Amino acid sequence: MEELADLKSYLIAKGYSITTTHKIIQNTVIFKEWINTSNTELETISYNDVTAYIKHAQTRAVSPRTIQLLVLHVKHYLNYLVSAEVIKHNPALALKLKNTNRKTVHNTLTIEELTAVYKSYSTDIRKHLIAPPQQNNELARKRNKILLGLIIYQGITAENIGDLQLEHLELREGKITIPGTRRSNERTLVLESHQVFDLYDYINETRKAILKVTHKQTNQLIVSTGSSNNVQNLLQNLMKELTTKHSSIKNLDQLRASVIGHWLKQYNKRKVQYMAGHRYVSSTEKYEANNVQQLQEDIEKFYPIL
């Protein structure tokens, strides 16, 4: 009950009306009941958990509009949990139910397409007509280029980003260690040669400048130019820019699926299982060519738009 009272205060502070706040709390109670009955751990809730809840709600024959409201209210609740530091990121942040009239299937990207996305991301703010403070914006874009590289070449997840520390880098060896989570295993991956040089410049110049501007003291590898140490907002902004610029990009999960699919063309399943941080090889097998259609159907039904 105390949590619901805090949630109410959070929503009202965000400007929601009493009526809307009451409805959000009602649906939050339903969501929490499902969490308890499905043996899902709220502290490690994932995108797949949220879509499982939506699928469960659909079995109750509720209207599409009601489903849309459930999605929206789950987002609000998980945003509150992020602000309360109960969870590190909101896996439902960009979840949106697909319009049932649309027939588009969103394919994974080839390694050539992924590389083109990376190379086309400019750190030159003059090309983007960005308003002041330009120093902060230039620093942010240089940091985003580093983050984009880790997504495209190492397939890191949203959960990994905030956990990365300076000590996870071994630039002399050209490697980075991705720490494990309750859902994934630790793994040490090879960096691309250009990443080594870019990360060296980032650590010694860009990152130091961000810390100086923000007056922060942290060992986090990826740091925001805002007052918070939470990096999920910067990830959201990066993905919003990418999906706006590249019509083929839909979400972070799609990029990761593309990376893993490329790995499977190069290495055996066990090696890819390690590289992806999967605890079970069955998780890796979902990304094999003969299972791509099912993945596409899942994205077709529930795809996040940032």
Q: Report pLDDT for 84.
A: 87
**43 found inside a domain:** yes
Total residues belonging to the chain:
306
pTM of the model: 0.62
Quote the crossing angle between the two packed helices 47-58 and 18-37, to the nearest 10°: 100
Domain match, 127 and 91 both: no
Residues 6 or more apart in contact with residue 29 via CB below 8 angstroms:
4
Residues pairing with 97 in the sheet: 302
What's the pLDDT at 102?
36
pLDDT at 183: 80
Residues 56 and 115 in one domain: no
Report the pLDDT value the prediction gives residue 62, as an integer from 0 to 100: 65
Q: Quick check: is 102 in a domain?
A: no
**Whether residues 143 and 46 fall in one domain:** no
- Is residue 222 exposed (0-12), middle (13-18) or buried (19+ Cβ within 10 Å)? buried
Last residue of a domain, one of 97, 126, 150: 97
Residues 134 and 262 placed together within one structural domain of the fold: yes
| Same domain, residue pair 203 and 225 | yes
Long-range contacts of 95-99 (CB under 8 A, 24+ apart): 95/47, 95/50, 95/51, 95/54, 95/71, 95/302, 95/304, 96/71, 96/303, 96/304, 96/305, 97/54, 97/64, 97/67, 97/68, 97/71, 97/302, 98/300, 98/301, 98/302, 98/303
- Which of 97, 127, 154 is at the close of a domain? 97
Are 130 and 278 found together in one domain? yes
What is the CA 57 to chain-centroid distance, rounded?
Answer: 24
Residue 160: inside a domain, yes or no? yes
Q: Are residues 73 and 179 in the same domain?
A: no
Residues 91 and 136 in one domain: no
Examine the domain organization and report whether 73 and 118 are in the same domain. no
Please tell me the distance from the alpha carbon of residue 105 to that of residue 90, in angstroms, as a whole number. 25
CATH number of the domain encompassing residue 218: 1.10.443.10
Q: Is 298 exposed, middle or buried (0-12, 13-18, 19+ CB in 10 A)?
A: middle
Residue at 15 is within a domain: yes
Assess whether 6 and 126 both reside in one domain.
no
How far apart CA 161 and CA 255 sit, in angstroms, is 15
pLDDT of residue 293: 47
Whether 193 and 252 map to the same domain: the answer is yes
Please give the torsion angle defined by the CA atoms of residues 149, 151, 154 and 155, in that order, rounded to the nearest 10 degrees.
-160
The confidence score (pLDDT) of residue 262 equals 93
Tens of pLDDT, residue by residue, the chain (306 residues): 688 888 888 888 888 888 888 999 999 998 888 888 887 888 888 888 888 888 888 877 567 778 888 888 988 888 888 888 888 888 887 676 554 333 333 478 999 999 999 999 998 866 554 444 445 688 999 999 999 999 999 999 988 998 999 999 999 999 999 999 878 899 999 999 999 999 999 999 999 999 999 999 999 999 998 877 788 888 888 999 999 999 999 888 899 999 999 999 999 999 999 999 998 888 888 887 544 444 454 544 444 443
Per-residue DSSP letter, 170: E
Q: Is residue 104 part of a domain?
A: no
The total number of structural domains in the chain stands at 2
**Distance (Å, rounded) from C-alpha 303 to C-alpha 306?**
10
Residue 6's domain comprises: 2-97
> In this structure, are 196 and 247 located in the same domain?
yes
Distance CA 63, CA 70 (A): 11
